[in-house]
Amino acid sequence: MISFVLLGLLELFGHWIAWRASKQNPFLELKSQKNDRSLRIENALLKKKIEASQPNNLFIAIDTSANTLSLYQKEKLILRAIVSCGSGAILLDPSRKKKWIFETPKGEFTIQSKYENPAWVKPDWAFIEEGKPIPKNFTERIEERMLGDYALGFGNGYFIHGTLYTRLLGKNVTHGCIRMGDQELKKLYDLVPLGTKILIF
């Protein structure tokens, strides 16, 4: 019984010695300060990366059911526009081997490209929809002025662009792209750099 008590006291004494040594050892304190400093540096670098992923703290929010586009800088609303989003229509090719669902993709994206006076390169579905044969010559796919004065690409062939059909703004009528009126599109184009985050819901 006494040996258990002695062992317990020796263990406590060992902990006390280690604690005292850590308090009196300047190297241990210096190591702790270095750890704090490196954590602060890591946090600062992480903060910079987060800020870089949201240039100027700008982000675009697109509500596909309300057909609205909002540009925010932090919590401040900079621009709001009525847009047109995907119709949800389905198109089958005549052979029934392929189908297209014309929805605006939902999720988180970024502005990957910006074009002035963009030309539209018509995809296969555009010819099928019009009941025309798919051309073999690439130049037959190019149409000028269909996308308006500006286009901002956010991946997989999807763009925020202008429209010839301004009377349809506010309705779900597109093949998946976001259509905007000329004035709002010009403002958006001028305000957002590449890398600006887009949230589509």
Residue in this structure with the two tokens 């586009």, named with its chain if needed: 69
The DSSP letter of residue 86 is B
- Whether residue 48 is found in the same domain as residue 87: no
- 76: domain CATH number is 2.40.440.10
| Shared domain check, 184 and 117 | yes
> How many domains is the chain partitioned into structurally?
2
| Residue 107 and residue 131 in one domain | yes
Q: Any idea which residues carry the catalytic annotation?
A: 161, 177
> Are residues 180 and 150 part of one domain?
yes
CA 190 to chain centre: 18
Summarize the confidence of residues 57-76 as an average pLDDT. 95
Hey, what are 121's tokens?
Answer: 């390169």
Task: Report percent pLDDT > 70 for the chain.
Answer: 74
Residue 181 sits in the same domain as residue 119: yes
Tell me how far apart the alpha carbons of residues 179 and 84 are, in angstroms, rounded to a whole number.
Answer: 5
Region of residue 195 (phi > 0: left; psi between -120 and 50: alpha; otherwise: beta): left
Instruction: Write out the residue range of the structural domain in which residue 115 sits.
Output: 56-200
pLDDT for the residue 13: 46
Our separate counts of H helices and E strands in the chain read: 4, 13
pLDDT tier for residue 3 given thresholds of 50, 70 and 90: very low
**Same domain for 77 and 33:** no
Both 109 and 80 in a single domain?
yes
Query: 25 and 68: one domain?
Result: no
pLDDT digits (tens, 9 = 90+) for 102-127: 999 999 999 999 999 999 999 999 98
Taking the C-alpha atoms of residue 201 and residue 123, their distance in angstroms, rounded to an integer, is 25
